[in-house]
């Protein structure tokens, strides 16, 4: 069996024996829109609710447009120009583009130009949200979950606030897009740490595909609504990173419509868990580092049996990474159990503990092997993971351990696919 895994920019071919018991799990393919620019223009002029964007913004208004950073495949090079075209009656000096970094590193000039295009970078003021500098933030009180709400000042100072993003299943926020543009996108560190603390992450509802009842999603929505955004532009993408759906309008309406669309295409039923799950982190840019690859591990964990194995292919050109605390948290632990115990013992949340917490919980269920061209065996072992230099050979070794009839699942698109258990009778019907 020949399968191409989403890996980096080029993909990774995988050959598995014909006698292997293999099931491929992938989302229903939706072709890209035939004319993305025209579809974006139409969505902005005829949103799901309310007036066209052009009519919501006066010539004298200041405007803030929030866009996703390099860790997301959001087609900013299409979305931002489309928005600016509808705002051509607003002088460029009255518009600021706010890069939603969350607690990630700032993007380089080269990355911004790849994301937005030279014309946008040369024309527009760009503010990279800094979660760690309270002087760049505004305090908006306390959320209903008891967390302090700090939000980027440049965004809050604008007369008109526009959120953009990409909707996909998310491993603890249910779905991306929507309110995540604000929290964690342009929120202060205290807000992010509160939303991502061990108790919130540990909620059984803080998982793939769950919104209402999920404290992470509900607080992100609450934070976003507190800032009173005027317009939301979210999109969905297929495996070729082509736009498949556009959802524009008010926050709740646009995000819910996008969630409904993604739920129909990305959620894949399975009858029983698998012994081995081969997965990815959806290729470039999502597989830029090991921190992001935890999403792919978590998606695979939805399909693997207790005591099984996960093999993930993630390029990790950005390393562990060096920035943030994720790597240090892993290095300071001797095992996944030790890592989880450390996290649960801290009175004050630490940056990136949420990613480490989820990794530890995945590893309490299954062994995790990582194939990466940019991480050494030493780095992977230091991250409590098992190195893999040949996926086919690793799978053969696991078949020798689990039995030649071991059930193997392959998720070529990684977290773009979310497996979920259904009774055999229901899945058969």
CA separation (Å) from 391 to 12, 81, 223, 397? 10, 41, 42, 10
Q: Which of 411, 383, 365 lies closest to 289, judged by CA?
A: 383
For the CA atoms of the chain, what is the radius of gyration?
Answer: 21
- Paired with 407 in beta bridges are 21
| Residues 3 and 14 sit within 8 Å (Cβ to Cβ) | yes
What is the set of active-site residues? 104, 170
Q: Backbone phi, then psi, for 290, in 5-degree steps?
A: -70, -35
146 CB contacts (<8 Å, ≥6 apart)? 194
372-388-278-420 Cα dihedral, nearest 10 degrees = -90
Q: Backbone phi, then psi, for 192, in 5-degree steps?
A: -65, -45
Considering only the C-alpha atoms of the chain, give the largest distance between any 2 of them, rounded to a whole number of Å. Answer: 70
Q: Which class for 376: exposed (0-12), middle (13-18), buried (19 or more C-beta within 10 A)?
A: exposed
d(CA 269, CA 418): 8
- Paired with 22 in beta bridges are 408
- What letter does residue 388 receive in the DSSP assignment? -
DSSP helix/strand/coil, 226: helix
DSSP helix/strand/coil, 4: strand
């Amino acid at each position: 069996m020949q399968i191409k895994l989403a890996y980096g920019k080029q993909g990774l071919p995988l050959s598995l024996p014909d006698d292997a018991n293999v099931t491929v799990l992938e989302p229903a393919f939706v072709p890209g829109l035939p004319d993305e620019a025209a579809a974006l223009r139409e969505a902005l002029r005829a949103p799901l609710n309310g007036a066209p964007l052009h009519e919501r913004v006066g010539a004298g208004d200041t405007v803030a447009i929030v866009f996703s950073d390099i860790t997301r495949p959001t087609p900013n090079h299409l979305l931002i120009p489309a928005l600016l075209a509808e705002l051509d009656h607003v002088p460029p000096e009255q518009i600021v583009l706010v890069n939603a970094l969350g607690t990630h590193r700032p993007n380089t000039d080269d990355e911004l130009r790849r994301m937005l295009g030279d014309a946008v970078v040369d024309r527009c003021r760009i503010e990279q949200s800094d979660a760690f500098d309270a002087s760049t933030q505004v305090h908006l009180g306390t959320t209903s979950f008891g967390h302090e709400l700090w939000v980027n000042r440049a965004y809050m100072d604008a007369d008109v606030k526009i959120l953009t993003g990409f909707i996909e299943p998310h491993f603890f926020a249910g779905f991306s897009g929507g309110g995540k543009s604000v929290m964690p996108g342009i929120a202060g560190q205290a807000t992010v740490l509160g939303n991502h603390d061990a108790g919130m992450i540990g909620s059984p509802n803080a998982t793939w595909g769950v919104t209402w009842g999920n404290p992470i999603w509900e607080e992100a929505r609450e934070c976003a609504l507190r800032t009173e955004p005027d317009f939301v532009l979210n999109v969905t993408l297929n495996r070729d990173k082509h736009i498949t759906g556009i959802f524009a309008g008010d926050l709740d309406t646009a995000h819910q419509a996008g969630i409904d669309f993604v739920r129909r295409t990305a959620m894949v039923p399975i009858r029983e868990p698998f012994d081995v799950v081969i997965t990815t982190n959806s290729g470039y840019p999502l597989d830029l580092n090991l921190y992001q690859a935890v999403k792919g591990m978590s998606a695979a964990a939805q399909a693997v049996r207790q005591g099984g194995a996960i093999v993930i292919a993630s390029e990790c050109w950005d390393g562990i990474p060096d920035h943030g605390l994720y790597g240090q948290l892993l290095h300071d632990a001797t095992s996944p159990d030790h890592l989880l115990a450390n996290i649960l013992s801290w009175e004050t949340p630490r940056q990136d503990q949420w990613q480490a917490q989820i990794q530890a919980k995945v590893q309490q269920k299954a062994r995790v092997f990582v194939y990466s061209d940019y991480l050494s065996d030493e780095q992977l072992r230091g991250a409590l993971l098992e190195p893999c230099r040949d996926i086919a050979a690793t799978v053969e070794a696991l078949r020798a351990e689990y039995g030649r009839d071991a059930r193997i699942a392959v998720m070529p698109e990684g977290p773009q696919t979310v497996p979920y258990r259904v009774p055999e009778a229901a899945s058969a019907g």
